[in-house]
Amino acid sequence: MDKQIKFIADGMLGSLARWLRLLGFDTEYFSGKDKYFLAYRARNEKRVVLTRDRKFVSENKSTSLLIESETLREQLKEVKKKLHLTFDRTVFFSRCSICNQPLEPKSLSDVIDDIPPYVARTQKNFSQCKKCGRIYWQATHWERMIDFIKSIDNEN
């Protein structure tokens, strides 16, 4: 259920959008000014709008969620709490944090020419974004992210 929920974050919430993607949620980012178009896209693509704009939320109650917190950490907690989400580790790092495309699993031989030698020596599992070509692997930021999410999960 959770995994099917899709988001579109407005221009104020770029970091939140990137994190939701890393957590496996399909999250588009809308940097435009035209709020009518944002509302249209949300309806058309069945996405929940994440916004800090109270007026927008009051006009689009059924399709938007007001984000009141200032920091990324609090914003993630807010989304989780208000929508009763669970963060499922099995889908972490399944989407490109930059373009929201699902990542494709790759073997070392697929990516060896495009990664630093120390990564090639120490990592086995890779994935790649078809759109921008960015290669992902489970490095230290992965562990930091798991710790960060765990700490959010533990505070309620």
For Zn ion, the binding residue among 43, 46, 54, 131 (CB under 5 A) is 131
Binding footprint of Zn ion, residue count (CB under 5 A): 7
We find the least distance from the C-beta atom of residue 108 to Zn ion, in angstroms, to be 20
Which of these ranges, 67-75, 76-84, 111-119, 124-132, lies near Zn ion under the rule CB under 5 A? 124-132
Contact 148, 92 (CB under 8 A): no
**How far does Cα 5 stand from its chain's mean position?**
12
We find the least distance from the C-beta atom of residue 27 to Zn ion, in angstroms, to be 13
Exposed/middle/buried for residue 133 (C-beta within 10 Å: 0-12, 13-18, 19+): exposed
- Which region holds residue 139: left if phi is over 0, alpha if psi is between -120 and 50, else beta? beta
Query: What x/- string results for residues 63 through 102 when contact with Zn ion is judged by CB under 5 A?
Result: ---------------------------------x-xx---
Nearer to Zn ion, 43 or 131 (CB): 131
- How far, in Å, CA of 155 to CA of 77, rounded? 9
Nearer to Zn ion, 13 or 129 (CB): 129
Partnered with residue 28 across adjacent β-strands are 8
State yes or no: residue 132 binds Zn ion (CB under 5 A).
yes
We find the least distance from the C-beta atom of residue 130 to Zn ion, in angstroms, to be 8
Residues 6+ apart with CB under 8 A from 48: 5, 6, 7, 8, 42, 63, 64, 65, 83
Residue type, 71: T
State yes or no: residue 135 binds Zn ion (CB under 5 A).
no
Which tokens sit at 105?
Answer: 């699993």
Nearer to Zn ion, 47 or 95 (CB): 95
State yes or no: residue 129 binds Zn ion (CB under 5 A).
yes
For Zn ion, the binding residues (CB under 5 A) are: 96, 98-99, 129, 131-132, 134
